[in-house]
């Protein structure tokens, strides 16, 4: 009888944990599925869906320059996924990718011993880890980004942390991204606080801000697949797969947070600080939206 009771209690606890655990990402998963479906529908047939999604794009341009139908993984190419001229242009640029030299630098930095003789490999024995970042650390009760992990490794080994967003940090992250190519993004929401962080990131993404009163959503969901002057607006789906990117505008590599901070500033808002809570929450939300997509970083962008 006692054995039976213990068995029932154990089963209840396990199933309770599973159900409770699953509920933390229930809303996020619902959001993600709707998010993915929006993009799949939008880019299924832009010519047939012109009135609904592309009312101001000339029909000839839709027929001639748009690539469709797009499948889930196609969105890894960001603004290049749907626009033939950009895709061709960047295919040529990537014959000799501008990120190659900083990527080699990143590999050299990864393998260069610290003053104590250890290397980054002491923290990242398997460098193919980017698919799990950013993650919610339940013990620390905060989001940990890959940049933070790199700097924490340095501090642990007696080195000074690197400046976030660009430079050597972006190079090391580029190397980790390169080693993670082909891995599927796998962001988890392990507890209630993680779910709150996800919701905060979601709000930052959808809520209009700045003196232009626009949101990330305005450009990268609703207007994705349209042009803003000579630029093609990238879909938010898959936006984090190519990070860090070598931007021709920057003349170097930049991390996801650098790009996001720039985007927030473009709305006419104050630029958030690297590794600030809101910026990490935005990255957490956005990366979750691309769960299941294969990584392809680093890459080149305008």
> Which residues of the chain form contacts with another protein (CB under 8 A)?
31, 34-35, 37-38, 202-204, 206-211, 213, 215, 217, 221-222, 265, 268-272, 278
Closest CA to 220 of 282, 163, 170, 160: 282
**Least distance in Å: CB of 233 to another protein?**
16
Q: Are 240 and 256 in contact (CB under 8 A)?
A: yes
Closest CB 297 distance from another protein, rounded Å:
25
- In whole angstroms, how close is the CB of 270 to another protein at the nearest point? 5
Question: Which is nearest to 281 in space by CA: 194, 182, 165, 174?
Answer: 194
Between 20 and 206, CB nearer to another protein: 206
Given the complex with another protein, which of 106 and 272 has the nearer CB atom? Answer: 272
- φ, ψ (nearest 5 deg) of residue 177: -65, -45
Q: What angle do CA 144, 177, 161 make, to 5 degrees?
A: 50
Closer residue to another protein, CB minimum distance, 27 or 94: 27
38 vs 114, beta carbon nearer another protein: 38
- For the range 136-144, what are the long-range contacts, defined as Cβ-Cβ under 8 Å and sequence gap of 24 or more? 136/188, 136/189, 136/190, 136/191, 136/193, 136/194, 136/197, 136/284, 138/190, 138/191, 138/193, 138/194, 141/193, 142/277, 142/280, 143/197, 143/277, 143/280, 143/281, 143/283, 143/284
Nearer to another protein by C-beta: 190 or 210? 210
Alpha helices by DSSP H, listed for 118-252, are: 146-156, 167-179, 192-206, 216-217
Q: Does residue 123 carry a catalytic annotation?
A: no
Shortest Cβ 29–another protein spacing (Å): 13
CB 290, min distance to another protein, A:
14
Distances (CA, A) of 53 to 223, 224, 228: 8, 9, 15
Annotated active-site positions, please? Answer: 263
């Amino acid at each position: 009888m006692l054995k039976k009771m213990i068995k029932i209690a154990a089963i209840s606890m396990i199933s309770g944990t599973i159900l409770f655990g699953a509920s933390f990402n229930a809303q996020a998963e619902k959001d993600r599925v709707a998010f993915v479906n929006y993009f799949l529908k939008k880019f299924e047939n832009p010519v047939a869906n012109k009135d609904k999604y592309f009312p101001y794009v000339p029909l000839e341009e839709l027929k001639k320059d748009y690539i469709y139908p797009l499948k889930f993984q196609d969105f890894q190419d960001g603004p290049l996924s749907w626009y033939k001229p950009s895709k061709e242009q960047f295919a040529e640029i990537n014959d000799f990718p501008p990120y190659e030299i900083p990527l080699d630098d990143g590999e050299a930095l990864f393998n260069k011993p610290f003053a104590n003789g250890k290397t980054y490999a002491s923290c990242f024995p398997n460098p193919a880890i980017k698919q799990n970042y950013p993650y919610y650390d339940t013990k620390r009760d905060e989001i940990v980004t890959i940049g933070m992990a790199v700097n924490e490794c340095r501090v642990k080994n007696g080195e000074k942390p690197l400046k976030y967003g660009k430079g050597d940090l972006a190079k090391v992250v580029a190397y980790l991204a390169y080693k993670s190519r082909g891995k599927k993004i796998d962001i988890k929401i392990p507890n209630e606080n993680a779910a709150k962080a996800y919701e905060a990131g979601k709000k930052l993404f959808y809520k209009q801000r700045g003196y232009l009163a626009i949101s990330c959503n305005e450009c990268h969901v609703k207007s994705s697949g349209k042009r803003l002057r000579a630029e093609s607006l990238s879909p938010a789906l898959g936006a984090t797969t190519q990070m860090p990117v070598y931007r021709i505008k920057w003349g170097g590599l930049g991390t996801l947070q650098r790009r996001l901070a720039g985007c927030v500033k473009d709305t006419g808002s104050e630029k958030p600080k690297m590794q600030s809570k809101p910026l990490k929450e935005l990255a957490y939300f956005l990366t979750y939206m691309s769960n299941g997509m294969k990584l392809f970083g680093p890459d080149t962008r305008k």
